């Protein structure tokens, strides 16, 4: 019956739109299902009923089209849409989302299944599984050294919790930082007690000292007391001499009958002015001598004293000064009594602060007493440099013209001083030794003696006691004002032997004081270990501060030490100071030193602590010894026709006859996808689109229902025709 066809057509529409609603409902129900892929339904027309076929155009008439009536609708396909879902960060390290094509491969104990849902966890046995069904994630496991060799089969991923990372002996230590180019090592500084020299009479042209009286030392040879001429003032300090003559005829010999001489310092003196003792003597003779009053003469003696001779011994001699120290030095020549038969009196003995130009035989100690050196004496120099006895340039022969500076030069040679100095201190006449910098050049045990010396027996037949009392090794003779010290920079590093035992090595750089841009280095190791080779050497730098060379002493090429722990012996370590000509290691620049050991390649025994997963599916383990090692790698699968996969529940798919076989590969290489750890792929359901589709399905259902209703009414009318 023709009317029945429309009824069946409407029913087919109702049935298929109901299936459409089923697909929509399933999509909406799984809008929050991780890794869910939405379904899509397509319809097709059922075979049409032909009322009349088509006819060919006859002659001048046109042809006729076929007349067909459709028999309703059928479901053409229900497809799974594998479009990309959004990724949501979860912070869970074992959650993984795929960006791109592919599926995670799992094994449920019977077969391989596939999923886009990466909500994985480790079970009690250490397997990486899908928690909703217990299926194990598939991948390739690394061997014990963290390598996945070619041909490694795909299998269950099981992490070896409790796995240990074996110790690795250190073979290289990298150092970096700066050695301060501006620092200078200190040398030993030794200084004697104050030294003076005989004030020699005569002008400079005559070979006299002609020293300024400021700072002269006066020795009273009778009492042994010394007076230092201090407080002398220019144009203020005077020396007044009275020869006992009543010059103004007042019957009294007093100050009005005397003559005064004034200290004028650097100004040019006249007969009443003076700077030196010789000039004072010259002025006295000019005023009181034969060309003057002819009552008194003064004589500057070779021992440094001044003698006064009265022509009329009945007249007293009175010498006074406005400076008390000068008064004390001169007043021993005073004679305040008359009728004294001794017509000559003498002052104290004068000495000046020793200078480099003074003769050795004229040197005096801080008390003004001669050191006793004589022509023909020998000075013998002994001591140590860097703890080693000096052996050359140890003696100096003394003549009447040997100068103090020749002595200082001999001391310099004996102690092999090149960058330091041996000099006469200008303020006190002391002998000052400044050794070369560094403890390797430390000067010690200085012992200098003088006298008549027998070179054959290497002994003194006569000693100069006063000289020795200044320069020999008696305590407090040599005052050390500065100790020798090195410019040193050190850095330490913890290294490991083959058993994973820790050892601390320290490398110390010491600046070479005699060679520019050069340092020596020495490596040490904490006990009980001990060094056995290659523990010292040199490092040099270019003029721009970059590394030039780093070498080992003794033709070694590494630092070796004995661990003494039962480990491989010896442990050989390369000390890496950087690349020649570069600034990537140790440098020498004019900034503060900052040497550090930045890295070393050894480590001790470690246990698996945490794991991490990267975008290619590499699972790396972090061990307690700081080692990161590859443990496994997750594989993915793709299909020629992924829409042909069978849904089997649990967000999983199975291979079907039309999906093709799985193509197993790795993300980022054979499969164009990346894995985002700590994230999950969300459902790709478009909720707005599904609501729209729901309206369409509803309208389709309503329309088909109306066809059924109308057809039913028609059938009712047909039934009612017989009444």
- DSSP secondary structure letters along 53-107: --BPPPTTSPPB--EEE---EEEEEEEE--PPPPEEE---TTBEEEEES-EEEEE
> b vs e for 376-412, b when ≥16 Cβ sit within 10 Å of the residue's Cβ?
ebbbbbebebeeeebeeebebebeeebbbbbbbbbbb
- Average pLDDT on 93-110 reads 93
CATH class of the region 172-183+487-604: mainly beta
The Cα 581–Cα 91 span in angstroms is: 47
By DSSP bridging, strand 112-115 and strand 103-107 are: antiparallel
Q: How many CB atoms lie within 10 A of CB 25?
A: 13
- Average pLDDT on 422-440 reads 94
Residue 239: its H or E element: strand 238-242
Mapping DSSP to helix (H, G, I), strand (E, B) and coil, where does residue 464 land? coil
Lookup: tokens for 196:
């003076």
Cβ neighbours of residue 516 under 8 Å, at least 6 residues apart?
Answer: none
**Inter-residue contact 77 to 42 (CB < 8 Å):** yes
pLDDT of residue 75: 85
pLDDT of residue 269: 81
pLDDT of residue 167: 83
Q: How many CB atoms lie within 10 A of CB 664?
A: 17
Which pLDDT band, with edges at 50, 70 and 90, does 519 fall under? Answer: very high
Cβ neighbours of residue 223 under 8 Å, at least 6 residues apart?
Answer: none
pLDDT of residue 339: 54
Task: Give percent above pLDDT 70 in the chain.
Answer: 96
Instruction: Tell me the three-class secondary structure of 391-426, residue by residue.
Output: CCCCEEECCCCCEHHHHHHHHHHHCCCCCCEEEECC
Mapping DSSP to helix (H, G, I), strand (E, B) and coil, where does residue 564 land? coil
pLDDT of residue 220: 94
Least confident of 312-316, 494-498, 606-610: 312-316
Q: Exposed, middle or buried by CB within 10 Å (0-12, 13-18, 19+), for 454?
A: exposed
Cβ neighbours of residue 249 under 8 Å, at least 6 residues apart?
Answer: none
Residue 474: its H or E element: none
The Cα 137–Cα 106 span in angstroms is: 4
Mapping DSSP to helix (H, G, I), strand (E, B) and coil, where does residue 235 land? coil
Q: Exposed, middle or buried by CB within 10 Å (0-12, 13-18, 19+), for 42?
A: exposed
Note the pLDDT tens digit of each residue in 212-268. Answer: 999 999 999 999 999 999 999 999 999 999 887 777 666 666 656 789 999 998 888
Note the pLDDT tens digit of each residue in 578-623. Answer: 999 999 999 999 999 999 999 999 888 887 788 889 999 999 988 8
- Tabulate helix, strand, coil % of the chain (nearest 5): 15, 40, 45
User: pLDDT averaged over the chain?
Assistant: 90
**Inter-residue contact 296 to 241 (CB < 8 Å):** yes
Note the pLDDT tens digit of each residue in 624-658. Answer: 777 888 899 999 999 999 989 999 988 899 999 99
Of residues 465 and 59, the one with the higher pLDDT is 465
**Inter-residue contact 627 to 603 (CB < 8 Å):** yes
Q: Is the pLDDT of residue 187 over 80?
A: yes
Q: How many CA atoms lie less than 13 Å away from 394 in the CB half-sphere?
A: 16
**Inter-residue contact 241 to 319 (CB < 8 Å):** yes
The structural domains of the chain, with segments of one domain joined by +, span 2-82+685-722, 87-166+607-681, 172-183+487-604, 187-194+357-482, 221-347
pLDDT of residue 710: 80
- Average pLDDT on 313-324 reads 85
């Amino acid at each position: 019956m023709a009317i029945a066809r429309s009824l069946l057509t409407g029913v087919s529409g109702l049935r298929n739109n109901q299936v459409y609603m089923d697909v929509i409902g399933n999509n909406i129900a799984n809008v929050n299902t991780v890794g869910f892929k939405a379904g899509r339904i397509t319809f097709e027309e059922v075979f049409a009923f032909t009322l009349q076929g088509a006819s060919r155009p006859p002659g001048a008439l046109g042809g006729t089209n076929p007349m067909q009536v459709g028999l309703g609708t059928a479901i053409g396909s229900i497809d799974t849409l594998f479009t990309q879902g959004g990724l949501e960060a979860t912070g869970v390290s074992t959650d993984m989302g795929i960006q791109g094509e592919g599926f995670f491969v799992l094994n449920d104990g019977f077969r391989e299944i596939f999923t886009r849902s990466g909500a994985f966890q480790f079970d009690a046995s250490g397997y990486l599984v899908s928690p909703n069904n217990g299926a194990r994630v598939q991948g390739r496991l690394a061997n014990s050294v963290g390598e996945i060799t070619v041909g490694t089969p795909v299998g269950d991923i099981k992490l070896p919790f409790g796995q240990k990372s074996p110790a690795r002996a250190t073979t290289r230590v990298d150092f970096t930082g700066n050695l301060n180019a501006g620092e200078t090592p200190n040398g030993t500084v030794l200084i004697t007690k104050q030294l003076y020299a005989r004030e020699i009479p005569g002008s400079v042209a005559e070979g006299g000292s002609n020293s300024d009286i400021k700072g002269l030392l006066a020795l009273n040879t009778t009492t042994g007391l010394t007076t230092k001429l201090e407080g002398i003032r220019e144009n203020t300090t005077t020396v007044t001499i009275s020869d006992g003559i009543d010059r103004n005829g007042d019957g009294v010999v007093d100050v009005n009958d005397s003559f005064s001489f004034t200290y004028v310092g650097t100004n040019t003196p006249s007969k009443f002015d003076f700077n030196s003792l010789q000039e004072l003597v010259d002025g006295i003779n000019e005023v009181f001598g034969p060309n003057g009053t002819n009552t008194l003469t003064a004589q500057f003696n070779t021992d440094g004293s001044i003698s006064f001779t009265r022509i009329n011994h009945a007249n007293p001699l009175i010498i006074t000064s406005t400076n008390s120290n000068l008064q004390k030095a001169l007043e021993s020549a005073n004679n305040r009594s008359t009728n004294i038969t001794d017509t000559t009196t003498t002052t104290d003995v004068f000495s000046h602060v020793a200078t480099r130009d003074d003769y050795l035989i004229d040197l005096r100690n801080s008390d003004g007493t001669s050191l006793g050196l004589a022509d023909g004496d020998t000075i013998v120099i002994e001591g140590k440099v860097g703890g080693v006895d000096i052996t050359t340039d140890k003696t100096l022969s003394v003549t009447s013209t040997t100068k103090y500076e020749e002595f200082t030069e001999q001391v310099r040679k004996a102690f092999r001083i090149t960058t330091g100095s041996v000099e006469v201190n200008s303020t006190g006449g002391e002998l000052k030794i400044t050794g070369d910098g560094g403890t390797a050049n430390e000067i010690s045990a200085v012992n200098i003696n003088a006298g008549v010396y027998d070179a054959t027996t290497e002994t003194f037949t006569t000693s100069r006691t006063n000289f020795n009392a200044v320069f020999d090794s008696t305590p407090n003779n040599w005052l050390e004002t500065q100790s020798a010290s090195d410019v040193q920079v050190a850095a330490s590093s913890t290294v490991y032997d083959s058993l994973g035992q820790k050892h601390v090595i320290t490398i110390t750089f010491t600046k070479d004081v005699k060679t520019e841009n050069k340092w020596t280095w020495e490596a040490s190791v904490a006990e009980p270990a001990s060094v056995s080779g290659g523990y010292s050497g040199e490092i040099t730098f270019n003029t721009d501060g970059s590394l030039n060379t780093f070498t080992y002493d003794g033709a070694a090429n590494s630092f070796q030490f004995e661990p003494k722990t039962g480990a491989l012996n010896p442990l050989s370590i390369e000390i890496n100071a950087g690349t020649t000509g570069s600034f990537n290691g140790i440098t020498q620049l004019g900034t503060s030193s900052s040497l550090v050991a930045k890295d070393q390649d050894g480590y001790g025994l470690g246990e698996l602590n945490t794991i991490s997963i990267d975008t290619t599916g590499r699972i790396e383990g972090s061990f307690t010894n700081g080692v990161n090692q590859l443990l496994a790698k997750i594989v993915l699968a793709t299909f020629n026709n992924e829409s042909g996969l069978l849904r089997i529940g649990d967000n999983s798919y199975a291979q079907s006859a039309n999906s093709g076989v799985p193509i197993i590969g790795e993300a980022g290489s054979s499969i164009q996808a990346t894995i985002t750890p700590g994230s999950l792929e969300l459902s790709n359901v478009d909720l707005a689109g599904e609501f729209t589709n729901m309206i369409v399905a509803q309208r389709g259902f309503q329309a088909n229902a109306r066809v059924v209703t109308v057809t039913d009414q028609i059938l009712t009318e047909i039934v009612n025709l017989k009444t």
